[in-house]
Amino acid sequence: MGRVPLPRRFRLFTALIASALLALLVTGTASAIQPGGITDEARKMNDLFWIVTIAGLVVFVLVAAALVYALFRYRRTNDELPPQFHGGGAIEMAMVGVPVLIVIGLFTISMITLVEIDDPAEDDALTIEVTGFQFSWQFAYDLSDLGTNTDPNAEGTIAVIGTPANDPVLYMPVDEPVEFKLISNDVIHSFYVRDFLYKLDLIPGRENKFTVTARELGDFQAQCAELCGTDHALMRFVVRVVERDEFDAWVADEAARQLGEGARVSTSGTQGD
């Protein structure tokens, strides 16, 4: 090559640094993009995400550095045959042992997180019944199941129904557990809120549930994540997390508007039924 070869140790070091820099670049971009999540559950899942990411990056840096180092260090320079090494017991045991340890560690941590976030709501928590249909959403609230401030004698339900052209808004109060009940009567949809770091499918013939406690106010874009037909991409909605007062005021307004006119909204049908 005509260049002065670098000392071997230095080359290994360079390979490590280069891989680490690449990994840092990736991590930096990921952290700029990956939302931290707005719910208690999402924050726990986010922690797990970073544990997996760090473990993955360590593996990547070590393997990539070893690979790059080997490619420079062991370039063919002459026709001499290198030692014909087939591998041996101890190294092969390590080949199995190291991945087993990494994998069991990651599995254990992810199961701990899974148990932590799987925390069913109390019966008196607000329940929002989400119905997915081709191609939008209905969010129904039973007036006797509104969580805090519920009037147990209230009757009727209010619902928000969207269209592909008009994204529905899902109102939910901050700082209290909210249970989502997911149903579909046509095809499979998936309720995916990026900032929940969570999605759960709406499956005909099944009723799926999950509970989250939101900790941040604001509007959050969300959409269907399971291919459901022509306008799947337009099956968007907005999650609006508001203070409890504001939520109550919104419910009161909607109840007056929807039920005052005598138009009781069904909770179980879908549009077009």
- Tell me the closest approach of the beta carbon of residue 94 to other proteins, in angstroms: 8
Residues 151-180 binding other proteins (CB under 8 A) are none
Asked if residues 38 and 214 have their Cβ atoms less than 8 Å apart, the reply is yes
Part in contact with other proteins (CB under 8 A); list of ranges 8-16, 91-99, 140-148, 245-253:
91-99
* Contact residue for other proteins among 12, 128, 160, 197 (CB under 8 A): 197
Part in contact with other proteins (CB under 8 A); list of ranges 5-13, 90-98, 119-127, 139-147:
90-98
Residues 16-75 binding other proteins (CB under 8 A) are 29-30, 33-35, 42, 44-45, 48-49, 52, 55-56, 59-60, 63-64, 66-67, 70-71, 74-75
104 binds other proteins (CB under 8 A): yes
Three-class DSSP category at 56? helix
Long-range contacts of 243-246 (CB under 8 A, 24+ apart): 243/173, 243/174, 243/217, 244/148, 244/149, 244/173, 244/174, 244/175, 244/176
238 binds other proteins (CB under 8 A): no
Q: Among residues 141, 240, 228, which one has the least CA distance to residue 184?
A: 228
* Contact residue for other proteins among 6, 17, 24, 111 (CB under 8 A): 111
CA 67/CA 220 separation, integer angstroms: 43
78 binds other proteins (CB under 8 A): yes
130 binds other proteins (CB under 8 A): no
Token pair for 158: 């209010």
Part in contact with other proteins (CB under 8 A); list of ranges 148-156, 198-206, 240-248, 258-266:
198-206
Token pair for 191: 């309720």
Asked if residues 129 and 111 have their Cβ atoms less than 8 Å apart, the reply is no
Our CB check for other proteins shows the closer of 110 and 148 to be 110
- Tell me the closest approach of the beta carbon of residue 139 to other proteins, in angstroms: 19
- Tell me the closest approach of the beta carbon of residue 125 to other proteins, in angstroms: 18
Q: Among residues 172, 191, 187, 182, which one has the least CA distance to residue 235?
A: 191
Token pair for 170: 């899902």
CA 78/CA 85 separation, integer angstroms: 18
Three-class DSSP category at 126? strand
* Contact residue for other proteins among 232, 246, 248, 259 (CB under 8 A): 232
Our CB check for other proteins shows the closer of 81 and 263 to be 81
Residues 177-196 binding other proteins (CB under 8 A) are 186-188, 190, 192, 194-195
